[in-house]
Structure 1
Amino acid sequence: MFSSSFMFQKPNSTIRIFDRSDYYTLHGNDALFAAKEIFKTTSVCKKIGPEHNKIDGVILNKNHFETFIRDLLLVKQYRVEVYVNNGSAKNQDWNVEYKGSPGNLAQFEEVLFNNNDVAVESAILAVKVGSEGTSKIVGVSCIDSIKSIISVSEFEDGDSFMNLETIVVLLKPKECVLQVGEGNTDFQIVKQLMERNNVLVTPKKKRDFSTDSLVQDLNNLLRFNKGQQRNSQALPEINLKRAMAATASLISYLNLTASSGEGGLFTLEEIPRNQYLRLDAAAIKALNLEPSGRLGASANSSLLGLLDKCKTALGKRLLAQWIRQPLRDLALINERHEVVEALVADTDTRSTLSEDYLGRIPDLHQLAKKLGNKKAGLQECYRIYQCMMYLPLFLEKLNALAHVPAVKAMIFDSLRESIEEMDKFQQMVEQTIDLDSADRGDFLVKAEFDDELKVLKSEMDDIENKIQKVLHKAANDLGMESGKSIKLELNPRLGYLFRITLNEEKNIRNNKSYTVVNSIKGGIRFKNKNLEILNDEYLSKKNSYTSQQKLIVAEIVETAAGYVPPIKVIGGIIATLDVLNSFAQVAVSASEMYVRPKMLSNETQELRLVKVRHPCLEIQDGVNYIANDAHFTKDSRFHIITGPNMGGKSTYIRSIGVTALMAHIGSFVPCERATISILDSILARIGADDSQIRGLSTFMAEMVETSAILRTATSNSLVIIDELGRGTSTYDGCGIAWAIAEHLAKNVKSYCLFATHFHEITRLAEDVPSVNNFHVTALVDEKLVLLYKVKPGICDQSFGIHVARMANFPDDVIEFAKQKQAELEDLQGAVFEGSDNPEKKRNIINDGEKMIKDFMEKCTGSNESFTDEELINRVRNLKEEVLAHNNPYIKALLGMS
């Protein structure tokens, strides 16, 4: 056994599992955690160990182990360590055999994927922070293990690391390797940044970022083009010193140089930060771009879920990438829109691609990766071959759209050229792999390659003929039809078995001549003695055949690895088509069809949406969505929206943000018409949640996010702010909200939607011409009726008490609230003659406040010394001067109205 102290010297996010050959065990808190996750109860745990030091233990079978591993690494983003015993039964010596983390899945790929196409992203980031004078210089490196790409960047940043957060949002890494140690004062700040973006942080020491062997490592890992010098020292990216230190840490952490199979597989590129819209983490959350993970949340509650009609794992990964990487290039955006438009117009091509063609394409990027690192076999080669054989039909179907320039350039021509490059690969497979056996799931080299293989193949064929006779005999015995109601099934691990449907199980029930092996969705698998004997012989011969063909298989895989580049290219083209076809599917299946937005250069500075809808909300059952307009021009940039809670302010401003983003990723949009100038960023400050993971209060969290907006936004940014200033006192909150609104409107001049409950801020429109007031409408009679329509003008009253009544507050609470409202009504809420007209009320208040200011200055402006009686008389005279103007607002304040 091992001591209990050994078990707990780790964070709770690391799970230790012990491999005992036939089963697996977990101990201590890990056992309790696994029991709850897998069995939903801790009663399966047993106390184990010496009497004085017992701990909880739980046993997992192979299926439980594999399911648990997938959940830990792909969903919960935990680390996993698997231990094996290198000692004897008595003198146990447990050592780590396998380790995995969300960004390092290499040692668990067989368990996680097992030839299944799973749309899993596994990018891992490393960050190296340095200084030059007063500036921070950040170097980052990101490795995408599926696409085999090393992406690097180096840039200046501030104390809050806003530029680094942009990179994190752009790349969506699962894990971040971060230097820790003395002198690294930025560790905690960067760690908090990663954690609020749901990135697991792995601390590493300074020595792990050493670049001593980096050039040699890159020479081995990178794929160089024909004729290109195999020297990474000549690449421009090598001059990014901190980014290269980050790259060195990832190569070490992922142990990429340990296996020669990784050689020549990777490409090195600089992250094209200026190619994409800047999104902050708040925008990702505020616009519901990705699933929240909340229990019971529907797929359509996020933009990713709504747009994901993809049929391939390739497409699903690319869609998730596009949503975080909206384009800023007008030509590229229009190209995507042109393809979507063609697919929307051609119903037959669109539906056939979705229903018949795309679903047959395997995960070519995963298969290319296996080929490249020499972990593939005949099965992977055969899957690629099948795909290549199928692609000409794909091209034939796409020919209907080949007249569309964007379809021809982006998809048709590129796909045709890549298919032609794969012609010799197909010939090689046909000449080397036994295709008849492969069709049955048995992956063998053709027997003519070796005399020993010929003998073994002849013996295997003879056994198979005998097995067919056993099938016929069993069919007669059970009164069933051979090959129809009772069939032979060849399982890669178990060999030959009989199979019948679940409904026919009664035919073998209580029949001692037959033994059930297992029951699956496809039916009952079973065997008899004769089949078992022949199957054992067959598996023995097959094992011999597999051993004999190993060298030939290695040569086939080595040759196939040379086709990795065109396989990756084909995968990228298919992924692009899958996503654009998904956009078209969503556009035509909406309750009201989406439209193609008219995209303009950023110099035009116009954003006009006619009857814009929120795509995720309108699709919900029972929702009759009220569409609204939004119009921004050079002279009308800042929109203040007021109105009752639950009246639709937040939904309205979110719908504009989501629609703008959809247009920039190439999707059609939920409007009647849309004209959108190219944006450079979408920034948001919505909601007032405490940020527990950061240790920040509601107010501090919104100040941090708003500060980032003020530093980042430009005149081409779309800024969305909702209910700013609720986390502090009313006066502080109103003052800060006003100052921020005025700065954005006067200085930044970005497109801005500013929803607020501070009605005072609407007066900003009097001083800044580009500010316009809008309000969501409501009717008040006996009860509040929300109309969800956005109209010009201000909302000059609060509906809080009406909303409380809608929420069924007790009557006595409502009445008490009314009393308190009257007592605490702020000065702007005073009622007087003319206050029923918002514009007239505003002018009366402005005049009154000027008089009050003048009164205060006269009271404090004299240096003369007065007696108490003289002072009282002076104040009385000044008061009479003010009252002589007969201002209704001042009279109301003094209780004279």
Structure 2
Amino acid sequence: MSLMYGKEKNVDHEFDQADVGFLTFFSRLPPKRADTIRLFDRRDFFSAHGADAQYIAAHVFHTQSVIKHLGSAAKGGLPSVTLSNNVATAFLRDALTARQLRVEIWAPEPGQGKKTAKFRLEKEASPGNLQAVEDLLFVNTDLLSAPIIMAVKIGMSPTFGLSLRYFMNKLRISSAYDSGIPPTGPASTSTSKTKTVGVAFADTSVREIGVSEFIDSDLFSNVESLIIQLSVKEAVIPMSSKSGNTDRDIELNKLKGVLERCGVVISERKQSEFTAKNIDQDLARLLLESTSNVDATASIPELASPTSPTSSAVSALLSYLALLGDSSNHNAYTLRTHDLSQYMKLDASALRALGLVGDGTTSEKNTTLHGLLNKCKTAQGTRLLGSWLKQPLVNLHEIQKRQDLDDYLRMMPDMHRISKRFQRSVASLEDVVRVYQAAQKLSGLVEALNSVETENVEYTRLIEEIYLSKLKEHSINLEKYSEMVEQTLDLDELSSHNFVIKPDYDDRLRELAGKLMEVRDGLDTEHRSVGRELGLELDKKLHLENSQLYGHCFRLTKADAKVINNNKNFTELGTNKSGVYFTTKKLKGLSIDYQEITETYTKTQSGLVKEIVNIAATYTPVLEALDNQIAHLDVIVSFAHVSVNAPEAYVRPKLIPKGEGDLILKEARHPLLEVQDDISFIPNDVQMIKGESEFQIIRTSTYDGFGLAWAISEHIALHIHAFCLFATHFHELTALDQQLTHVKNLHVVAHVTKTGESTQDRDITLLYKVEPGKSYDCVCDQSFGIHVAELANFPEDVVKLAKRKADELEDFGGEHEETPAHSKELTEEGSKIVEEMLHLWASRCASSTENGEDIMDDDDVDKEIAILRDCVESYRDRIDGNPWVQSLLTTL
């Protein structure tokens, strides 16, 4: 016990005792994946070695000075770092939930004493499977992101239909006809294969299993949408074959690319694990009794066949998580299906472009929509908000429900996590008390919701339906729970953060409680005595604290600590930013007595604690249902708070059934823009009117691929009729609005201000505002690029040439085509004049040859320019008589 009151233990010295033996052991460890961190539990601290030590030094301590080298200095030694238990716990939590790393924790093999040279793998965890470390990492910390893991199985079935080549030929033929080039090559059909993807996913933190099955493309776009919607952290997929070049390997490589793009950790398992065996029996053991009474494989179509890809995925997922091996999982899980069509599809690029959520490693308060909207007070509310943002609803009724709740509208623990601890019999009295405190708040919550008056009867009915009726029911169901807690726990001790059984239940507990009271009285007496001796005011200057490191001790600020210097009555224990800790001989003895009596009390009450936890576990269904209600309310209130306190008021959009209306946005902007510092922006209006502007083209200019772009855009506008924004650099596509009335052309506005006489003396301002019409209808002619070139002082002849070429490329007709400035006859005559003049110039130019090559120096160039001027003068009369030639010469 003396170590408790001395300086902090020298963990490096203790660490060095087993260098030689440990180095031998470490060198023989099997290789690990690059994304895996190995930590070694050395009882009082943790250590990491090799590349792991360097990673931790860089990302946790942010300095290389913490690295120690074990072994021979001549050989460089093994880089190593040590972490206190608190630092290691925080690092593990960050590694698994934010950095997408795997973790291995190695513990000393028994019977080694202090010199721990050999270790065994005790715990493994990955971003999608936190079961082994959940109690270590999340006892006093909320889990803010769900550890979703999924297994994927790809099934292929032959289907006769149009091949991709056929589709591409159709596009090519369409493009050829449009450009006046006759098509070549036959269009054929072929036998293709339909790709059916079966997915099983699980969230072990809330004990839920889900399945989904769908047809997907070669790009696995639906898989990517599912990953985004569920916030998948880890994926289990089959291993590739030994050859690596089969059709299945090709598909798996494509799938891996999608998973890596979405930041999902990949776990490859043997193909045999994806063979469905006894799925119906396994699920019956895992599912809640109310669920397993109905055969899951019969009620869910995706599981109806043991050979279906979804059944195979479920088999692999259960095997990887080893759920059946833990009896606490039996009759504890729920099963659901996930329908992709119920939510708007998002891919990884859209997720980043829209700024919906962050990566978990940096602050996202004003940089992501989740950070902006997250005013939630509970962990479950934060998790639900993330799900809502990644799963935008497409059901009109459900959207309007949320909007109505927003129009109407802290001390709640994470019930799902606590109920899981109850089921696994690892909960403490603190967990029991936290649920009790939450239950006590329900009546106040119900009263608060009842007291708010609304003029809209529909809002009142909705609040009653969604919240009040269910909260009242939960409050009634938890009344017996509250009575049990009040009768068995000593609630007066909660103010001291002590969670104990009332001493009245046992004679031994009553005796220990009396001794504790005597020790506490002694601590208070010693506190007053030392205060008088040092002349310090109690609690303001001289603090009596129960430290985890030192036990009961006194604390002074560094400024006041000089009063104990050179005083033999006081023993200094340590110093940190809070002040100086010290003790006395009497206080040290009382602290030891307090710790020993408290430990004895805890052991004596352990049997009663187990009974109370078992009773609390029977309330798990009520707690989980209440948790869902609190999370829902938390998110809705957060939305309402953000809406009311926005820099510019949010408005509620008017929604109508799918396919029946228009898309009209007034002064639209991304909500993150207006909360950024020193950023100004221009809001935009959007009008996509059904039958008038379903297909809108925003354009610049070039020529490549025009035929393919025309065929695709025409097909969407003519046959699909989906609202579509087509941002393109093909000027020619704007002619589509002449064929289809519901195609509208738009351009981005720029403002050019003339500041002087020359073309360079102009300022161009990009307004970032979209307006109707083609770009050559605006004040900037047809190309911003030419104006930018002028502002950058490009040579005037280069700018003229660019303008002439732009006119040629963009002269493709249409409703804006202008009448030619010169007649056909005048143009033909002018062409003959120019041709004759150039022939004359060529014949008069003297050139010398040497070895068959033309030789020309600077004098020759000047001479030929002079000859050209003479030729022009000789044709002056004919040039002056032809306006077409005059206009041509002005552009040179």
- Cα deviation, residue 755, structure 1: 2.3
Task: State the match for 2:595 in structure 1.
Answer: 539
Higher gyration radius (CA): 2
| Residues 1:467 and 1:44: Cα distance change in structure 2 (over 3 Å) | closer
Determine if the alignment matches structure 1 residue 229 to structure 2 residue 297: no
Which residue identity is paired with 1:421?
Answer: N
The alignment status of 1:389 with 2:414, answered yes or no, reads no
Q: State the alpha-carbon separation in 2 of the partners of residues 123 and 443 from structure 1.
A: 33
1:177-212 Cα shifts (integer Å, max 9, x gaps): 111133642221111111111111111112333443
Trace 1:78-89 onto structure 2 (pairs within 5 A): 78-86=101-109, 88=112
Residue matched to 2:369: 303
Aligned equivalents of 1:251, 1:275: Cα separation in 2: 26
Q: Deviation digits for residues 773-821 of structure 1, max 9, x if unmatched?
A: 1222212231102233322111122213545788xx6x46x87974773
**Does residue 604 in structure 1 map to residue 660 in structure 2?**
yes
- 1:301 is paired with a residue whose SS is coil
- Confirm or deny that 1:328 pairs with 2:394: yes
CA distance in 2 between counterparts of 1:889 and 1:95 reads 92
The answer to whether residue 332 in structure 2 is matched with residue 250 in structure 1 is no
TM-score by length of 2: 0.77
Q: 1:752 to 1:439 in 2, by over 3 A?
A: same
User: Which residue of 1 is the match for residue 741 of structure 2?
Assistant: 769
Deviations 1:324-368, CA, capped at 9 Å, x for gaps: 11112222211111111122xxxxxxxxxxxxxx2x222222222
Decide whether the 8 Å contact of 2:800 with 2:891 is kept in 1: no
Shift in CA distance, 481/70, structure 1 to aligned 2, threshold 3 Å: same
Return the offset for 1:620: 2.0
| 1:94 and 2:119 matched | yes
Structure 1: state its 5+ residue gaps. Answer: 344-357, 645-725, 853-887
1:785 alignment counterpart: 765
Partner of 1:799: 784
Label 1:586 to 1:531 Cα distance change in 2 as closer, same or farther (>3 A).
Answer: same
Amino acid aligned to 1:828: L
Counterpart residue identity of residue 744, structure 2: N
| Rounded Cα–Cα distance in structure 2 between residues aligned with 1:477 and 1:440 | 27
Q: 2:336 aligns with which of 260, 269, 272?
A: 269
What is the Cα deviation at residue 522 of structure 1? 6.5
Q: 2:210–2:338: 8 Å Cα contact kept in structure 1?
A: yes
What secondary structure sits across from 1:291 in the alignment?
Answer: coil
Q: Aligned-pair distance for 1:442?
A: 1.5
Mean CA deviation greater in 515-524 or 13-22:
515-524
- Distance in 2, Cα, partners of 1:294 & 1:105: 19
Q: Residues 290, 530 of structure 1: CA spacing in aligned structure 2 closer, same or farther, 3 A cutoff?
A: same
Give the aligned partner of residue 882 of structure 1.
none
1:66 matched to 2:107: no
Shift of 1:478: 2.8
How far has the Cα of 1:839 moved from its partner?
A: 4.5
In structure 2, the partner of 1:106 is: 131
8 Å Cα contact 1:642-1:759 kept in structure 2: no
Q: How far apart are 1:79 and its partner, in Å?
A: 0.7
Q: Is the 8 A contact 1:211 1:244 kept in 2?
A: yes
Q: 1:826 to 1:27 in 2, by over 3 A?
A: farther
Q: State the distance in 1 between where 2:642 and 2:425 align.
A: 39
The structure-2 alpha-carbon separation of the partners of 1:779 and 1:449, relative to structure 1 and needing over 3 Å to count, comes to same
2:463 alignment partner in structure 1: 407
| Partner in structure 2 of residue 827 of structure 1 | 808
Distance (Å, rounded) in 1 between the aligned partners of 2:84 and 2:276: 43
Equivalent runs, 1:619-630 vs 2, <5 Å: 619-630=675-686
Residue of structure 1 aligned with 2:817, choices 822, 841, 846: 841
Q: What is the CA–CA distance in structure 1 between the aligned matches of 2:656 and 2:884, rounded to whole Å?
A: 48
Superimposed CA distance per residue, residues 409-444 of structure 1 (whole angstroms, 9 cap, x where no aligned partner): 112221121121111111111122221223311121
Aligned AA (2:478): M
Q: How high is the TM-score relative to the length of structure 1? A: 0.76
Equivalent residue letter for 1:784: I
Is the alpha carbon distance of 1:588 and 1:189 closer, same or farther for their aligned partners in structure 2, counting shifts above 3 Å?
same
Alignment of 1:156-171 (within 5 A): 156-171=215-230
Contact 2:98 2:359 in 1 (8 A): no
CA distance in 2 between partners of 1:824 and 1:55 (Å): 67
Taking structure 1 as reference, are residues 328 and 63 closer, same or farther at Cα in structure 2, changes over 3 Å only? Answer: same
Matched-pair contact (CA < 8 Å) for 1:123–1:143: yes
Corresponding residue number in structure 1 for 2:211 = 152
Deviation at 1:635, TM superposition (A): 0.7
Q: 1:401 to 1:179 in 2, by over 3 A?
A: farther
CA contact (8 A) 2:40 2:107 kept: yes
Task: Provide the secondary structure at the position in 2 that maps to 1:600.
Answer: coil
**1:195 has 2:260 as partner:** yes
Distance 1:440 1:622, change over 3 A: same
Tell me: CA distance 1:328–1:758, structure 2 relative to 1, closer, same or farther (3 Å). Answer: same
Q: 1:318 to 1:523 in 2, by over 3 A?
A: farther
Cα distance in 1, alignment partners of residues 579 and 481 from structure 2: 37
CA RMSD of aligned residues (A): 3.5
Shift of 1:78: 0.7
Counterpart residue identity of residue 258, structure 2: L
Contact (CA 8 Å) 2:25, 2:118: kept in 1 or not? no
Aligned to 1:746: 718
- Of 40, 60, 70, 2:62 maps to 40
Q: How many corresponding residue pairs?
A: 749
Amino acid at match of 1:414: K
Cα distance, 1:844–1:158 mapped onto 2, change above 3 Å? farther
CA contact (8 A) 1:514 1:526 kept: yes
Q: Could you tell which deviates more after superposition, 69-78 or 275-284?
A: 275-284
Query: What CA deviation, in whole Å up to 9, does each residue of 1:670-709 have, x standing for no partner?
Result: xxxxxxxxxxxxxxxxxxxxxxxxxxxxxxxxxxxxxxxx
Q: What's the CA shift string for 1:50-83, capped at 9, x where partnerless?
A: 5668433333332332232223212211111122
Residues 126 and 178 in structure 1, CA contact (< 8 A), matched pair in contact too: yes
2:481 partner SS? helix
Q: Which residue of 2 aligns with 1:206?
A: 271
Q: Partners in 1 of 2:521 and 2:583 — Cα distance?
A: 17
Residues 610-646 of structure 1: CA deviation (Å, up to 9, x unaligned):
22222111222233432232122221343535478xx
Give CA deviations for 1:637-682 in whole Å, capped at 9, x if unaligned.
43535478xxxxxxxxxxxxxxxxxxxxxxxxxxxxxxxxxxxxxx
Matched residue type, 1:560: A
The verdict on how the C-alpha distance between 1:772 and 1:386 changes in structure 2, with shifts beyond 3 A counting, is same
Instruction: Report the alpha carbon displacement of residue 405 of structure 1 after superposing the two structures with TM.
Output: 2.0
Give per-residue Cα distances to partners, 1:733-753, cap 9 Å, x unaligned.
444443333232222211112
Q: Which amino acid aligns with 2:274?
A: F
The answer as to whether partners of 2:550 and 2:573 remain within 8 angstroms in 1 is no
**Are the aligned partners of 2:747 and 2:772 in contact in 1 as well (CA < 8 Å)?**
yes
How far did 1:294 drift?
8.8
**AA in 2 matched with 1:337:** Q
Query: Quick one: structure 1 residues 223 and 784, their matched pair in 2 at CA, closer, same or farther if it must change by over 3 Å?
Result: same
Equivalent of 2:345, from 256, 278, 286? Answer: 278
Distance 1:731 1:128 in 2: 43
Q: Which amino acid in 1 is paired with 2:748?
A: V
Task: Summarize the Cα distance change of 1:10–1:512 in structure 2 as closer, same or farther, 3 Å threshold.
Answer: same
Alpha carbons of structure 1 residues 381 and 494: separation in structure 2 relative to 1, 3 Å? farther
Counterparts of 2:789 and 2:25 in 1: how far apart (Å)? 59
Take 1:752 and 1:96, find their aligned partners in 2: how far apart are those partners? 55
Question: Does the 8 A contact of 2:749 with 2:771 survive in 1?
Answer: yes
CA gap 1:7/1:772 in 2 versus in 1, 3 angstroms: farther
Supply the AA of the counterpart residue of 1:597.
Answer: P
1:476-555 correspondence runs (5 A)? 476-483=532-539, 485-490=541-546, 495-499=551-555, 504-505=560-561, 508=564, 511-515=567-571, 517=573, 526-555=582-611
- In 2, the alpha carbon distance for the partners of 1:155 and 1:418 equals 38
Task: Give the conservation status (yes or no) of the 8 Å contact 2:106–2:119.
Answer: yes
Question: Of 712, 722, 728, which residue of structure 2 is paired with 1:756?
Answer: 728
Distance 1:805 1:488 in 2: 77
Number of the residue aligned with 1:378: 429
Matches within 5 A, 1:548-697: 548-640=604-696, 642=698
- For the Cα contact (< 8 Å) 2:276–2:311, is it kept in 1? yes
